[in-house]
Structure 1
Amino acid sequence: MLEAAERLHYVPSALAQRFARRKSGNLGVILPLVPKVRLFSTYYFSEILSGVGEEAGRHGYDLLLMFRKPDEKREYAMLFRTQKVDALIVLGSRDEPDERQALAELWRDGYPFCLVNQRFDEEPFPAVDADHESGSFQVVRHLAGQGCRRIAFVNGPLVYSNSADRLAGYRRALEASGLPFDPKRIYAGNYSRKSGLELAASIADAMRRGEVDGIFAGNDRMAIGIMQGLREFGLEAGADYALAGCDDSEGARMTDPQLTTLSVPFDRMGKLAARRLLAADETTWDTPILKLPVELIVRASTERFGSSSTTD
């Protein structure tokens, strides 16, 4: 039989092999469906998906991308029951009752899944995350070291664990720097450039009253929106105030001045999440939650109160 197959140059059908093994050959990825947002052009998602895709290909898996509407019922377990996926990565997960219930069902029924950049500390859900709390602490300490004494924080929604982490790091850094926490200096954005742009007027008013001299934004998109918006009020980052973002996206290098930010290893996070699911026999995990370190990248936007050099 093998000799005949060799003579005929027979190649087994991947579909037939998967059917025989009752496997789909798909690594599923849940993505949030955000109206008017080009998801794949967003640095955060493109980097994570790049890492996931590279690792999935290394293990002979295809990616099955599935978009979830905000009000759509979470039926993650059904993807396994209908054999659409062999494992599942969830991006954009939010700390909400329906989400918790869907993830708890996956865990209870033993389906392989992993969260990326979101975690539930009191739950056993596996996750690959970054140390956002430590990163936020580094940024605010840097701003304080540059001479800032009234540091504002533009955060994202608290349904994301990284938003809560950054808020905790911000507060801890203020305390370590001997600076008071003032809730009036906390601004709520949604991680979009537009939300940063829309907050610029309020921040400009606070700056003119002498209430803000430095700003930390929870991601680069919001920071860029703030920079653009404050420019319309005649205020320049690196001259009139210090500004830092988070992600180290390509846009952070394209602003004028270039943006101080935190480098977050999104690509590696995606790779490790896929590896955790597809190469369980090759890797060991001491904890359900793996946190990766982040790195402060100092550029010209925080030179307002001191001298620093670009690390590029």
Structure 2
Amino acid sequence: MARLAGVSEATVSRVLNGVGPIKEQTRARVMEAAKALNYVPSALAQGFARKRSGNLGVILPLLPKVNLFSTHYFSELLSGIGMTASRYGYDLLLLFREPDEPREYERMFQAQKIDACLILGAQDVEPERHALAELAANGRQFCLVSQRFEGTGYNAVDADHREGVRAAVHHLLDRGFSRIWFLNGPSSYSNSADRLQGYCEALHERGVPFDPERVLLGNYSRTSGYRLSEEIEGLVRSGAADAIVAGSDRMAIGVLQGLKEKGLLAGIDYGLVGCDDSEGAKLTDPMLTSIAVPFYEMGSQAANQILSPLAQGETSSSFQLKLPVELIVRGSSAR
């Protein structure tokens, strides 16, 4: 190819790999020679030349008995990430992390397996904080999705969970419910704190005292909601509770199913609101009122914010995005 183009082999390499300044006339001769010879460049070789892997790492928690790809949360996030990454010519490298496994995120960068990474399901625990601090100290490009660490300045894309629960509580109060309980997830997730804040704010705005006894704890799974339905049954029958806001549709569906088996119907005997607006919210009887969270857009935005500067040979500026949510009213919160 070098002989046909009338240039050196080093010049051919620089043209094909986009490395260094090249005269447009020289670049055109090399590309014409490549076309004449039906040359197809090696992506792996180009990656080595540019010191890029062409991979966007996506770190996911490996949860016992949970098929991540069938859950609304992860499937929507990954769809948004994948579609955007493909527009930049990037492939996804998925890393599944066991709950107690060391967070060795830096090792992927050192091995040149990835150029940047998105972290899903991060928790506010010491091993996570240490791993993220290591990435930041080494100038690595990464973004947290649906999680924040206050005061760190880490890149993050999240949804306005506080406003979502605030709107849900106002909606229930407007429907005549007055004894509203909140079913939250683990405190290691920032969105759990955001939702609790929204719950407290809405009560305060309407002059309803906050009672910490009215906050129940699940783990965002349907099973945890179903198990808590036994306790909630007693609360509803005694009049101590007339509505529930759950931090996920899966927990809300577990509550709905458990109470239905006990003869209590959402929208008639009590009000119920979930969060996520998953497909399951439309399949329950009655259909579930839920807070729609734009997971696809969150994944897309995270990938775009990280990859757009990389595509131009730059590093991303610090960013923290919070996308709006919407309350979708259905039969479970009727009166």
Q: CA deviation at 1:53?
A: 0.2
Within the alignment, does 1:192 sit opposite 2:231 as a pair? Answer: no
Q: CA deviation at 1:73?
A: 0.8
SS at match of 2:306: helix
**Higher percent of residues as helix:** 2
SS at match of 1:140: helix
Within the alignment, does 1:293 sit opposite 2:324 as a pair? Answer: yes
Within the alignment, does 1:55 sit opposite 2:97 as a pair? Answer: no
Alignment partner, residue 95 of structure 2? 66
Give, in whole Å, the separation in 2 of the partners of 1:285 and 1:222: 37
Q: Could you give the per-residue CA deviations for residues 226-268 of structure 1, whole angstroms, max 9, x where no partner exists?
A: 0000001100001101100000101111111111111110000
Alignment of 1:59-208 (within 5 A): 59-208=88-237
Give, in whole Å, the separation in 1 of the partners of 2:208 and 2:34: 75
AA aligned to 2:138 is D
TM (normalized to structure 1)? 0.95
**Equivalences, count:** 304
Alignment of 1:261-272 (within 5 A): 261-272=290-301
Give, in whole Å, the separation in 1 of the partners of 2:230 and 2:62: 29
Contact 2:225–2:255 (Cα < 8 Å) also in 1: yes
Q: Could you give the per-residue CA deviations for residues 134-163 of structure 1, whole angstroms, max 9, x where no partner exists?
A: 111000111111111100100000100000
Give, in whole Å, the separation in 2 of the partners of 1:191 and 1:251: 14
AA aligned to 2:297 is R
Q: Which segment is superposed worse, 260-269 or 274-283?
A: 274-283
Which has more radius of gyration?
2
TM superposition outliers: structure 1 runs of 4+ over 4 Å: 281-287
Give, in whole Å, the separation in 1 of the partners of 2:273 and 2:316: 33
Q: Specify every segment of 5 or more residues in structure 2 that has no aligned partner in the other structure, as ranges.
A: 6-29
Contact 2:153–2:318 (Cα < 8 Å) also in 1: no
Within the alignment, does 1:212 sit opposite 2:241 as a pair? Answer: yes
Q: CA deviation at 1:284?
A: 11
Match of 2:309 among 249, 259, 280: 280
Give, in whole Å, the separation in 2 of the partners of 1:141 and 1:105: 42
Contact 2:309–2:316 (Cα < 8 Å) also in 1: no
Give, in whole Å, the separation in 2 of the partners of 1:248 and 1:215: 16
TM (normalized to structure 2)? 0.88
How large is the Cα RMSD of the aligned pairs? 1.5
AA aligned to 1:153 is F
SS at match of 2:84: helix
Q: Percent identity?
A: 59
Q: Which segment is superposed worse, 17-26 or 157-166?
A: 17-26
AA aligned to 2:186 is P
Within the alignment, does 1:250 sit opposite 2:279 as a pair? Answer: yes
